[in-house]
Amino acid sequence: MHELAPRIAAYATGRLPQAAELEVADVERIHGGASRETYRLKLRYRDGATRVERRLILRRDPPGSLIETDRAIEFAAYRAFHSTPVPVPEALWLENDPSHLDYPFFVMEELAGFEASPQTILMPPYSGHHEKLAQQKWSILGAIASADPEKLGLVGPMAPVAPTEAWRRELDHWTRVIDEDQLEPQPIMRAAIRWLRRNPPPAPARLHVVHGDYPTGNFLYDKEGNVRGILDWEMAHLGDPLEDLAWSLNRVWCWARDGRVGGLTSKENAIRIWESASGLRADPEALRWWELFSSLKGQAIWISSGREYQAGKNQDPVLALSGWWLMNAQDRAALETLGKLG
Amino acid sequence: MKPDVPKALEIVAGRLLFDVAPHVAPSYRQSSVGVTAMLLGIVREEWDRAAARRVQENAALRALFRDALPVVTDTDLRGKLAAAADSADASLLVSELDASNDALRALLIELHAHVETLQSAAARALEDAIWRELVASTERRKLSLAPF
């Protein structure tokens, strides 16, 4: 039995006072994003005469993480988009008291039986559905962009910002991450930061929900080419929807290594799908600003992962791999956006 | 070292991936073994070129700083560039080459920011040279399995 099982059961008993014969089984740690420890488990209990079994996901803050984020925001995003055209698992419990499982955590339903891997999607039978997956992937991103954060109750859990200042808040934040975490000088990123400050993008007409981390790899898909769940909302915030579009187009997510964005389709097609679904226009110059910004943000994350690993705070080898595998590719992506790669 | 380090790392990575990982549970640990094999593959690629690319880059940066001297208008910066241009790597130890490289690239950032503020044709030519060096720096570090 996993050492967390009895502790999760004790916690769930408090959350479900009507439940009898409650037990937690099959607790297994899985890869589920880089910012939290993710566990799959089964919760069984009797509710009156009814036997209940629920497959759940528990996301727990780790001692060190790739991205320092607010679990309450991630939880609020799952809650807000549940039962909307944006498919997400049902969020159940948010717990900030570390006494239960040593660190804060939240629990949500598991959307079981689907794939998330950005490598598996390149292989049969999924490879036969890339255009269908692309259509759904960027349509859903368009649906997130067209959502009203006020109506979803996300203004508050997510800090508002003046639309004219959305770019600056993000740029300041990720520049600060690089300032604090860099292990070596970053001449390309420093040049990018100067360019971004000299050439600010036009402001969006209003604030939008920004998922914050929407590559292939952060959604669930099935063998028929359907997107079944949007995951990893830990960096969600209010801002410019072009930020999400640009992040989804980031060169480092070209998993098939053939130029197709997200390993699925052409950049032009992805933009066309997003524009059609969102009702918004991706102004090329504004999108270029956000594409360069997405290289900065990516580099900040890879830099932080390297620092966490080197400091020994988190020895998950994926943190070392992020730094080694992606930092140079991210620099090249920035050079390409700036028109310097040739 | 014999057997050759790249060959040994290739074999160890392959055994981790194909002999060890399939028998590891739970899936999180199995995945971590696979990631560890990828790390060894990257070390294998880096091993042979590690010193060479650092020596090459440090020399390129010193040459760039020497060429920048007539263009730079900031006296303090010109002094730092002249000193860096005349410096040399203490040894061929990768750790010492890295220390030199860090210092040189920090100075490159300072130079680049300064040149961007200058208006002359010589400044634009120098800026182009800096960008060429930055592009070259990513080519030196490029990994064969990188997504881009």
CATH number, domain of A288, equals: 3.90.1200.10
Residues in chain B: 148
A93 with A151, same domain?
Answer: no
| Cβ–Cβ gap B134/A251 under 8 Å | no
**Minimal Cα distance from A336: which residue of B?**
B135
Given a cut of 50, whether residue A66 has pLDDT beyond it is no
**Among candidates B84, B79, B73, B90, which has minimal Cα distance to B126?**
B73
Tokens for B47? 């091993």
Q: Give whichever of A35-39, A62-66, A333-337, B22-26 has the largest mean pLDDT.
A: A333-337
Query: Please, are residues A197 and A223 in contact by the beta-carbon 8 Å criterion?
Result: no
Predicted pLDDT at A36 = 79
Last residue of a domain, one of A51, A81, A109: A109
Report if residue A329 sits inside a domain: yes
The proportion of chain A whose per-residue pLDDT surpasses 90, expressed as a percent, equals 88
Predicted pLDDT at B27 = 83
A191 CB neighbours in chain B (<8 A) are 109, 112, 134
**pLDDT, chain B, mean:** 96
Instruction: Give residue-wise pLDDT tens across range B48-76.
Output: 999 999 999 999 999 999 999 999 999 99
**Minimal Cα distance from A334: which residue of B?**
B135
Touching check for A251 and chain B: CB below 8 Å? yes
Predicted pLDDT at A33 = 62
Band of residue B25 on the pLDDT scale cut at 50, 70, 90: confident
Instruction: Give residue-wise pLDDT tens across range A246-278.
Output: 999 999 999 888 989 999 999 999 999 999 999
3-state secondary structure A50-79: EEEEEEEEEEECCCCCCCCCCHHHHHHHHH
The CA distance from B124 to B138, in Å, is 21
Report if residue A124 sits inside a domain: yes
The CA distance from A76 to A91, in Å, is 8
Task: Out of A70-74, A112-116, B88-92, pick the least confident.
Answer: A70-74
Instruction: Give residue-wise pLDDT tens across range A125-161.
Output: 999 999 999 999 999 999 999 999 999 999 999 999 9
DSSP states of A209-227: EE-S--STTSEEE-TTS-E
**Among candidates B115, B65, B112, which has minimal Cα distance to A190?**
B112
Interface residues on B facing A, Cβ-Cβ cutoff 8 A? 26-29, 31-32, 35-36, 38-39, 42, 98, 101-102, 105-106, 108-109, 112-113, 116, 131, 134-135, 137-138, 141-143, 145-148
Given a cut of 80, whether residue A300 has pLDDT beyond it is yes
Q: Nearest C-alpha of chain B: how many angstroms from A342?
A: 9
Query: Please, are residues A328 and B142 in contact by the beta-carbon 8 Å criterion?
Result: yes
Q: Nearest C-alpha of chain B: how many angstroms from A84?
A: 31
A88 with A152, same domain?
Answer: no
Predicted pLDDT at A180 = 97
B97 burial (CB, 10 Å; 0-12 / 13-18 / 19+) is: buried
A334 CB neighbours in chain B (<8 A) are none
| Cβ–Cβ gap B112/A188 under 8 Å | no
**Among candidates A217, A19, A215, A7, which has minimal Cα distance to A107?**
A7
B38 CB neighbours in chain A (<8 A) are 321, 325
Number of domains in chain A: 2
Nearest to A324 among B31, B42, B148 (CB): B42
Predicted pLDDT at B26 = 83
| Cβ–Cβ gap A185/B31 under 8 Å | no
- Could you give the ipTM of this predicted complex? 0.96
Last residue of a domain, one of A109, A142, A164: A109
Report if residue A115 sits inside a domain: no
A176 with A246, same domain?
Answer: yes
> Domain-by-domain residue ranges, chain B?
5-141
Predicted pLDDT at A135 = 98
A161 with A295, same domain?
Answer: yes
A260 with A145, same domain?
Answer: yes
A237-239 and A208-210 beta bridge pairing:
antiparallel
A266 with A128, same domain?
Answer: yes
Predicted pLDDT at A34 = 60
Predicted pLDDT at A64 = 52
**Minimal Cα distance from A251: which residue of B?**
B148
Band of residue A203 on the pLDDT scale cut at 50, 70, 90: very high
Report if residue A114 sits inside a domain: no
Chain A interface, mutation test: which of B28, B127, B137, most A Cβ atoms within 10 Å? B28
Band of residue A70 on the pLDDT scale cut at 50, 70, 90: confident
| Cβ–Cβ gap A191/B134 under 8 Å | yes
Overall pTM surpassing 0.90 (yes/no): yes
A146 with A89, same domain?
Answer: no
Touching check for A14 and chain B: CB below 8 Å? no
**Minimal Cα distance from B37: which residue of A?**
A317
CA quadruple A85, A238, A252, A60: dihedral sign: negative
The proportion of chain A whose per-residue pLDDT surpasses 70, expressed as a percent, equals 97
CA quadruple B112, B114, B120, B122: dihedral sign: negative
A102 with A142, same domain?
Answer: no
A105 with A124, same domain?
Answer: no
More confident residue, B77 or A37: B77
Per-window interface: A 128-167 vs B, CB < 8 A: none
Q: What angle do CA B14, B18, B19 make, to 5 degrees?
A: 100
What is residue A17's DSSP assignment? T
Residues 6+ apart with CB under 8 A from B107: B61, B65, B80, B81, B84
Domain residue limits at A97: 5-109
Q: Give whole-number Cα distances, A156 to A72, A76, A79, A146, B140, in Å.
A: 11, 10, 14, 19, 46
What is residue A107's DSSP assignment? E
Q: Give the mean pLDDT of A201-214.
A: 97
Q: Nearest C-alpha of chain B: how many angstroms from A154?
A: 33
A331 CB neighbours in chain B (<8 A) are 137-138, 141
Q: What are phi and psi of A325, to 5 degrees?
A: -85, -35
Helices B94-116, B121-141: inter-axial angle, 10-degree rounding: 150
DSSP states of chain B: --S-HHHHHHHHHHHIIIIIGGG--SHHHHHHHHHHHHHHHHHHHHHHHHHHHHHHHHHHHHHHHHHHTTT---HHHHHHHHHHHH---S-S-HHHHHHHHHHHHHHHHHHHHHHHT--SHHHHHHHHHHHHHHHHHHHHH--TT---
The CA distance from A61 to A68, in Å, is 9
A41 with A134, same domain?
Answer: no
Find the DSSP H helices in A33-165: 71-81, 130-146
**pLDDT, chain A, mean:** 94
A232 with A138, same domain?
Answer: yes
Predicted pLDDT at A102 = 92
Instruction: Give residue-wise pLDDT tens across range B109-122.
Output: 999 999 999 999 99
The CA distance from B76 to A18, in Å, is 74
Given a cut of 60, whether residue A65 has pLDDT beyond it is no
Band of residue B108 on the pLDDT scale cut at 50, 70, 90: very high
A154 with A45, same domain?
Answer: no
* CATH code at position A26: 3.30.200.20
| Cβ–Cβ gap B112/A331 under 8 Å | no
Q: Give the mean pLDDT of A9-22.
A: 96
| Cβ–Cβ gap B105/A331 under 8 Å | no
Report if residue A289 sits inside a domain: yes
Q: Give the mean pLDDT of A82-110.
A: 94
Nearest to B148 among A28, A254, A342 (CB): A254
Band of residue B147 on the pLDDT scale cut at 50, 70, 90: confident
